[in-house]
Amino acid sequence: MSQVLPATISPELFAQRADAIADAARELAAAGWTPATSSNFSMRIDDDHAAITISGRDKGRLGRDDIMLIDMQGQAVGTSARPSAETDLHTQIYRRWPEMNVVLHTHSRTQSVASRLFAHEGVVTLAGWELQKAIAGQTTHDSELAIPVFPNTQHMPELVAQVDAWLDSGRPLHAYLINGHGIYTWGRDMAETRRHLEALEFLLGCEMDLRSHSV
């Protein structure tokens, strides 16, 4: 599958982003967070473009050729490859936050179970955990970190609308769960986004353990 780049995008930049996505994907796959070709990952290229994983590829074997270019409407650019079915959730984040450059979406066991367990509340409220400080802007364990749980659907405009509704209500958003599905989180660069994802995986596991021991 060949990728033709617009003249405004340097091949070196695209290759660098594609490699960063593929490296992260293989590492997250090794952790068991991307079962059965699930999950998708992207990085911003410029104001109008992002690099994203091609649909259906094994994330444990991802390479540069498994990454494609899209525009901020989620359309393929310069390739006949098909982007992830959930591409609109990535472009939504890039459009809402010009400072965000990476979006990671995984389906770990902990994320999947937590989403089911907290779905009826519509939110996981994390409080009192030191590791909340791993999330950008969270300076103390005393603050509350709300991770909404949105109902799952195969119809992306519905999910996009739910995310928009949360943001339009003025509440902060650093990540969200989709019921029975997985988590989305983002950041300014790959290191920050990986930190968010790992912290949330740990915090969701802790919160479930705590609830299972509480009466």
Residue set of the binding site for Zn(2+): 105, 107
Sequence ranges of the binding site? 105, 107
Residues 6+ apart with CB under 8 A from 182: 38, 39, 105, 106, 107, 108, 111, 112, 115
> What is the C-alpha separation between 51 and 78, in angstroms, rounded?
12
- Enter the tokens of residue 135: 């999330």
Query: What are 41-45's contacts with CB under 8 Å, separation 24+?
Result: 41/103, 41/104, 41/105, 42/70, 42/87, 42/90, 42/102, 42/103, 43/17, 43/101, 43/102, 43/103, 43/190, 44/94, 44/100, 44/101, 44/102, 45/9, 45/13, 45/14, 45/17, 45/69
